[in-house]
Amino acid sequence: MIIVTGGAGFIGSNIVKALNERGERDILVVDNLTNGHKMHNLADLDIADYMDRLDFIERINQGESFGKGGVQAIFHEGATSATTEWDGHFVMKNNYDYSKSLLHWSLQRGVQYLYASSASVYGAGGTFVEQREYEQPINMYAYSKFQFDQYVRRLQPEMRSQVVGFRYFNVYGPREQHKGTMSSTAFHFNKQIKESGVAKLFAGCDGYGEGEQRRDFVYVGDAVKVNLWFLDHPDKAGIFNLGTGRSQAFNDMARAVIEWHGRGKIEYIPFPDHLKGAYQNFTEADISALRAAGYHDSFLTVEEGVRAYMDLLNG
């Protein structure tokens, strides 16, 4: 059996879809369906079972095994992902403690453990290398991810089974519609162009021109390919940046959406006060460690990824 936590969410449901495409059906999806709209991410997928997150955590803490044939791997994508959430108790309980419980459960059973970290651990710094000196989280979500990476690092010398952390950069693509304000800019630009013909971007701030804040935008299909590559290479372990290695401006994203629709324009809005000091104006993954591990596939550019996404989103 393969377990996918956050399996009704964005990256999780795309992982389940990719596993289905491999012929894998013995999948346990774990999630919190308080937002019932997430069921649309599962409706076209084939799984063996679904379990609520709280029930799953209780069973994990009780040491329960899952499936008659045992568990091969856990893809741990479940988390509180809002970067604007400042209830530290809530965030650490849902992200840090949950991840630790699954880690120890997996290590005790030799189960492959592939988990979602985040590029947010780097904060406002301009160097994105998987080393402690470049990590300075600036919100609670980022801190929870950073602290779990630190916990993994401390245990690495004694680990006898695969543990891999993926520092996702700006992932976009299908099955993110339930995320609301946390959906990608590609999703929001598409909605804005359809409704008003105007894509709204932030005005210049901190030395960046209008719409020129830059991110490493990675298409979800590429992020999933990396996950499955590590599943197929259980001898590879560590914490890796998962991005394209090339930053592009938000203007590029907006123009790609406008080009697909064949209409629309860009409008710049004032930079929000509540994001000042808690916003990454620039991200660009250093993927040297990923390449050194043996992953050599190429990544889609914004223009290529947006085209594929718009075809699916508006099909």
Taking only the tens of pLDDT, the chain with its 315 residues reads 999 999 999 999 999 999 999 999 999 999 999 999 999 999 999 999 999 999 999 999 999 988 778 999 999 999 988 777 889 999 999 999 999 999 999 999 999 999 999 999 998 888 999 999 999 998 999 999 999 999 999 999 999 999 999 999 999 999 999 988 889 999 999 999 999 999 999 998 878 999 999 999 999 999 999 999 999 999 999 999 999 999 999 999 999 999 999 999 999 999 888 777 667 788 999 999 999 999 999 999 999 999 999 999 998
Q: What is the CA radius of gyration of the chain?
A: 19
- Residue 223 · residue 171 · CB < 8 Å: yes
CATH number for the domain running over 177-214+247-281+305-313: 3.90.25.10
Q: Which of 141, 168, 219, 309 is catalytic?
A: 141
Please indicate whether residue 276 is annotated as part of the active site.
Answer: no
The second-level CATH assignment, the architecture, of 2-171+217-244+285-299 is 3-Layer(aba) Sandwich (3.40)
- Residue 100 · residue 147 · CB < 8 Å: no
Q: Which of 93, 179, 200, 225 is catalytic?
A: 179
- Residue 211 · residue 257 · CB < 8 Å: no
Q: Where do the CATH 3.90.25.10 domains begin and end in the chain? A: 177-214+247-281+305-313
pLDDT for 129 equals: 98
Please indicate whether residue 179 is annotated as part of the active site.
Answer: yes
pLDDT for 278 equals: 64
pLDDT for 274 equals: 78
User: Facing residues of 75 across strands?
Assistant: 4, 114
Q: Where do the CATH 3.40.50.720 domains begin and end in the chain? A: 2-171+217-244+285-299
Give exposure, 27-55, as e/b (b: 16+ Cβ within 10 Å): bbbbbbeeeeebeebbeebebeebbebee
